[in-house]
């Protein structure tokens, strides 16, 4: 990974050398190295602790409940996209970040490009919805990212890389969109993925406020039929609006340095 980062950094410096950016007179100190957060886990995994490195030392961050907003780089439900997350910057004068992406194949690093530039004030999360542009497809690829943080004087520092292997989305069938169901007869049904390399599926149920209220891990991922079904076994549901989805998790390849998975589209249904 260190060798890979060295190659990426060398290419990045070459790209930046062609932009005409120059550090202005005065402040010559680059920002402290930004921390682009790797995949910490998935919605429903429980809690975890990770460390952010700041000038004064490592700062532990305790997460009591991993969810879609706090788990680092991850797939998203809304499309064949990836969401990035970085830690708050140590320097108060960071102005903007440039976001870079690439993938790898037998020939090495491919498609290294700056995909966007965003103001630091816009937050610490970025959604990459451009994976299907160009000659490579979003799914069944491992995507790598790093960011370059610039301060108001033009000084800049590059982060380490993070990555995620994106699988195809599970296709959900029941309950279907806007279906009205009986609270005492709720069953979730979805198609198994054709890749054949899924270690488990996770069914997630959310209330009208999109708070997770139930989950079920299905590890029997290679049935004879085309579909999987799971009966709801949680607390009794009252009438109202609910949302559900299925997350897929791939068999972890020892050569991968990232998380691997996908999330189905989220579906709204009603309980009578």
Which residue do the tokens 């709720």 mark?
A: 186
Q: Which two tokens stand for residue 191?
A: 């198609």
Q: Whole-angstrom Cα distance, residue 195 to residue 192? A: 9
Write down the pLDDT at residue 251. 83
Average pLDDT over residues 139-154: 95
Question: How long, in residues, is the chain?
Answer: 272
Q: Whole-angstrom Cα distance, residue 186 to residue 180? A: 10
Q: 134 falls in which pLDDT band (50, 70, 90)?
A: low
137 vs 150, which has greater pLDDT? 150
Per residue in 259-271, pLDDT tens?
A: 899 999 999 999 9
Write down the pLDDT at residue 196. 64
Q: 20 falls in which pLDDT band (50, 70, 90)?
A: very low
Q: How many alpha carbons lie under 13 Å from residue 119 in its C-beta half-sphere?
A: 2
Partners of 215 in beta bridges: 204
> Mean pLDDT across the chain, nearest whole number?
89
Is the entire prediction scored with pTM above 0.85?
yes
Is residue 99 within 8 A of residue 147, CB to CB? The reply is: yes
Q: Which two tokens stand for residue 142?
A: 């491992």
Write down the pLDDT at residue 25. 62
Per residue in 152-162, pLDDT tens?
A: 999 999 999 99
Per residue in 23-77, pLDDT tens?
A: 446 778 999 999 999 999 999 999 999 999 999 999 999 999 999 999 999 999 9
Q: Whole-angstrom Cα distance, residue 83 to residue 159? A: 16
Partners of 50 in beta bridges: 61
Q: Is the pLDDT of residue 6 over 60?
A: no
Q: Whole-angstrom Cα distance, residue 242 to residue 139? A: 28
Of 64-73, 142-151, 188-197, 201-210, the poorest mean pLDDT is in: 188-197
Partners of 166 in beta bridges: 141, 261
């Amino acid at each position: 990974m260190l060798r890979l980062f060295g190659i990426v950094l060398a290419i990045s410096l070459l790209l930046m050398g062609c932009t005409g950016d120059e550090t202005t007179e005065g402040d010559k100190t680059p920002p402290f190295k930004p921390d682009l957060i790797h995949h910490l886990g998935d919605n429903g995994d429980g809690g975890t602790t990770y460390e952010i490195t700041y000038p004064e030392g490592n700062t532990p961050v305790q997460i009591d409940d991993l969810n879609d907003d706090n788990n680092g780089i991850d797939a998203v439900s809304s499309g064949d996209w990836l969401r990035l997350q970085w830690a708050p910057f140590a320097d108060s004068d960071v102005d903007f970040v440039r976001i870079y992406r690439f993938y790898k194949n037998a020939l090495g690093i491919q498609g290294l490009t700056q995909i966007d530039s965003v103001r630091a004030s816009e937050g610490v999360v970025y959604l990459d919805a451009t994976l299907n542009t160009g000659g490579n497809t979003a799914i069944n690829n491992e995507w790598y990212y790093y960011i370059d943080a610039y301060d108001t004087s033009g000084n800049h520092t590059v982060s380490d890389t993070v990555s995620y292997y994106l699988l195809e989305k599970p296709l959900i069938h029941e309950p279907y969109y806007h279906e009205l169901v009986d609270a005492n007869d709720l069953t979730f049904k979805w198609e198994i993925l054709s890749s054949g390399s899924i270690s488990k599926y996770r069914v997630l149920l959310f209330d009208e406020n999109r708070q997770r209220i139930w989950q079920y891990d299905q590890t029997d991922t290679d049935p004879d039929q085309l579909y999987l079904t799971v009966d709801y076994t949680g607390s009794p549901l009252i009438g109202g609006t609910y949302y559900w989805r299925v997350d897929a998790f791939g068999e972890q390849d020892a050569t991968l340095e990232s998380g691997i998975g996908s999330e189905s589209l989220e579906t709204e249904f009603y309980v009578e």
